[in-house]
Amino acid sequence: MPLIDRDPLLLTPGPLTTSLRTKQAMLHDHGSWDPGFNGITASVCRQLLDIVHGADTHVCVPLQGSGTFAVEAALGTLVPHTGKVLVPNHGAYCARILRILGVLGRDAVELPLAEDQPMDPAAIEAALQADPGITHVAVVHCETGTGILNPLAEIAQVVAAQGRALIVDAMSSFGALPIDARALPFDALIAASGKCLEGVPGMGFVLARRSALEASAGQCHSLAMDLHDQWAYLQKTTQWRFTPPTHVVAALAEALQQFQEEGGQAARGARYAANAQRLVQGMSALGLQPFLAPAVQAPIIVTFHAPQHPAWHFQTFYEGVRERGFILYPGKLTQVETFRVGCIGAITPHDIDQVVHAVGATLRQMGIVNHA
Ligand SMILES: *Cc1c(COP(=O)(O)O)cnc(C)c1O
């Protein structure tokens, strides 16, 4: 018998812990042709646009699959074959964008950056000035590999001033951190159901500038990934092209209802910030230090240095914490040994206290106590 008689809480960057209401929304079968279901899709898309105040300029294109599918679809649809994309790279998800562009055969220019430093808008500006052939810039808002926050508004200003288009992977920030399409110019902003909106995984979405999407007809390398085609079909029929993830969409609609009840983005971001603060405090008391400086840490996921102790072994640590009811995440860095703890999902600072307690108990069991 497991010690804990409930699902473990997921302290991970998705899938994450969802509320009972969100899970219960999946107890129904919806027909993809049914006006009731298509009304849910339309309402979800409207709300997603409203979160970034984008209804006047942008459209929402939902897409089946995990977040990466939507990133690949946005790049494949919006970047023409003759395009060239600047990718500032300071982590795993930036590197994934570069990989996607390579697979798609789109020209890419990497701007390599230190993994513990945010993107520098001046460096992006210099790279754009140096290469007039660059048509697009693709950035990650919160690089979930480390948990670092990038200055998106400043980056968007620089990119717009240089007359290039911006594509943003806002997967781990959307809904939790402020993004305002009226002041922050972008051609595409990409996120998914199973991150800060606290839905279940299975649906990505791209908030695309209407004019850019309209200009992209016939440009995509792929049928299933073609956002223009997906959008045109939705416009014409109110239906998804191909089978929609009906349960996922229903769960997202219910999760959005709770998002609004909580107080929208500001309240969601404040709860995550409280989680992150409580986590860092509690872990510090156990001698565990964050990898990033506080000023650049996003309140989404925190990377911690592994204890400098001969008894440290991530798998043992993971299993000990798991037995106590919590799932953590391995680090994604190549140079230093780390592990990660997510602050997002249907969890509160009270849950974080329990996580810290479980981490402390596990470290004591492993013989690692209050190391420096
Ligand atoms: C989660 C995430 C993605 C998508 O990853 P999937 O495994 O495809 O869901 C992309 N970018 C960032 C920054 C993420 O946090």
Residues with CB under 6 A from ligand 1: 13-14, 66-68, 71, 93, 140, 144, 169, 171-172, 192
What is the mean predicted confidence (pLDDT) over 163-189? 98
1 belongs to a structural domain:
no
Half-sphere exposure of 3 (CA within 13 A, CB side): 10
pLDDT for res 3: 59
Say whether both 239 and 269 belong to one domain: no
Q: At CA 224, angle to CA 44 and CA 90, rounded to 5?
A: 75
Say whether both 223 and 290 belong to one domain: no
Say whether both 244 and 270 belong to one domain: no
How far lies 173's CA from each of 30, 219, 230, in Å?
Answer: 29, 28, 24
Per the rule left: phi > 0, alpha: psi between -120 and 50, beta: everything else, 328 is beta
Say whether both 105 and 71 belong to one domain: yes
| 261, 279, 306 - which closes a domain | 261
Say whether both 255 and 304 belong to one domain: no
Say whether both 246 and 132 belong to one domain: yes
Q: Which residue has the tokens 């329990």?
A: 354
* Continuous segment of H or E residues that includes residue 278: helix 264-285
Say whether both 42 and 185 belong to one domain: yes
Ligand 1 centroid – CA 66 distance (Å): 8
Is the pLDDT confidence value at 182 over 90?
yes
157 belongs to a structural domain:
yes
| 261, 295, 330 - which closes a domain | 261
Query: Which pair of tokens denotes residue 151?
Result: 């200055």
Say whether both 33 and 117 belong to one domain: yes
* Continuous segment of H or E residues that includes residue 109: strand 107-112
- Provide the CATH number for the domain around residue 152: 3.40.640.10
Using one digit for the tens of pLDDT, what is the confidence trace for 117-145?
999 999 999 999 999 999 999 999 999 99
| 203, 233, 261 - which closes a domain | 261
Closest residue (by CA) to atom 3 of ligand 1?
67
Say whether both 282 and 317 belong to one domain: yes
269 belongs to a structural domain:
yes
Cis peptide before 15 (omega within 30 of 0): yes
Determine the residue of 94, 96, 99, 172 to mutate for testing ligand 1's pocket, defined as the one with the most ligand atoms within 8 A of the Cβ atom. Answer: 172
Say whether both 27 and 167 belong to one domain: yes
237 belongs to a structural domain:
yes
Range of the domain at 321: 9-16+264-365
Write down the mean pLDDT value for the chain: 96
Ligand 1 centroid – CA 142 distance (Å): 10
pTM reported for the whole predicted model? 0.97
Say whether both 43 and 124 belong to one domain: yes
Using one digit for the tens of pLDDT, what is the confidence trace for 279-297?
999 999 999 999 999 999 9
Quote the CA–CA distance of 119 and 117 in Å, as a whole number.
7
Give the position, in ligand 1's atom list, of the atom nearest the Cα of 143: 13
371 belongs to a structural domain:
no
pLDDT for res 370: 61
Is the pLDDT confidence value at 186 over 90?
yes
Q: How many folded domains does the chain comprise?
A: 2
Say whether both 178 and 307 belong to one domain: no
Strand pairing class (203-209; 58-64): antiparallel
- Provide the CATH number for the domain around residue 287: 3.90.1150.10
More confident residue, 6 or 50: 50
Give the position, in ligand 1's atom list, of the atom nearest the Cα of 201: 9
372 belongs to a structural domain:
no
